Amino acid sequence: MFSILHRMGMISVCLTAIAALPSCASHPPPRAEVPMYDWHDDGIGGPVSVEIDLTRQRLTAFRGDRPIGWCVVATGLPGYSTPAGRFRISEKVVDKYSTLYGVTKNAEGITINHDTKVGRDPIPPGCEFVPAPMPYWQRLTHYGIGMHAGPIPYPGFPASHGCIRLPRPAAIRLFDVTKEGTPVTIVP
């Protein structure tokens, strides 16, 4: 009996040690249920501003100096980094589609390339390019970086081609309180 308990204790210690290891950005941990956003704006107290923390993968919206909401985001993967700096929203479009990224579908509508880039990936005969949707688009750079609703497959980890993806409910709320010219700060 002691031998079994001793072995069980060793297994527990090993599992604890494995759980304590840091995550690797190239291999995110299994998806867990985590809060994706919280919004509590009463519309009172000044102009809206936005801060995006690339390390924490988190957006915080402010009205004046008071936080009015936050959400988990997914920013650029290695090789597609989201730029740090100070920006202003220069375009807002509810129903926007990417002109660069999407998927390739065959004649039967089956996706044959989940990460198609215009100019990089040829479209085979009989197939079509389907642009990626970017609802509640808010442009930050002239070269196509912006905030929009999109999938966040692993909260806390980058997942995009450089844009800042937000959970859809948070993207809608943010879109409703910002305007062209709203300041957005992205910190490393």
pTM: 0.81
Identity at 142, one-letter amino acid code: H
Task: Please say if the pLDDT value at position 30 is more than 80.
Answer: no
Residues 142-184 have pLDDT tens digits of: 999 999 999 999 999 999 999 999 999 999 999 999 999 999 9
Percentage of residues in the chain having pLDDT higher than 90: 81
Task: Please say if the pLDDT value at position 19 is more than 90.
Answer: no
Give DSSP secondary structure letters for the chain: -HHHHHHHHHHHHHHHHHHHSPPBTTBPPPP-----EEE---S-SS-EEEEEETTTTEEEEEETTEEEEEEE-B-BPTTSPPPPEEEE--EEEEEEEEEEEEEEE-TTS-EEEEEEETTTS---TT-EEEEEEEEEEEE-STTS-EEEE---SSTTS--BSSSEEE-HHHHHHHHHH--TT-EEEEE-
Task: Please say if the pLDDT value at position 10 is more than 70.
Answer: no
Q: How confident is the model at residue 58 (pLDDT cuts 50, 70, 90)?
A: very high
- What was the pLDDT predicted at 45? 86
Task: Please say if the pLDDT value at position 132 is more than 90.
Answer: yes
Percentage of residues in the chain having pLDDT higher than 70: 82
Task: Please say if the pLDDT value at position 3 is more than 90.
Answer: no
Q: What is the CATH number of domain 35-98+136-187?
A: 2.40.440.10
- What was the pLDDT predicted at 17? 31
Instruction: Name the more confident of 14 and 155.
Output: 155
Task: Please say if the pLDDT value at position 88 is more than 80.
Answer: yes
- What was the pLDDT predicted at 121? 97
Calculate mean pLDDT across residues 91-111. Answer: 97
For the chain, give every domain's residue range: 35-98+136-187
Q: Give 75: exposed, middle or buried? Use CB within 10 Å, 0-12, 13-18, 19+.
A: buried
- The two tokens of residue 19 are 């759980």
Q: How confident is the model at residue 122 (pLDDT cuts 50, 70, 90)?
A: very high
CA-CA distance, 149 to 161, in Å (whole number)? Answer: 14
Nearest C-alpha neighbor of 136 from the set 103, 166, 100: 166
Nearest C-alpha neighbor of 136 from the set 101, 167, 96, 164: 96
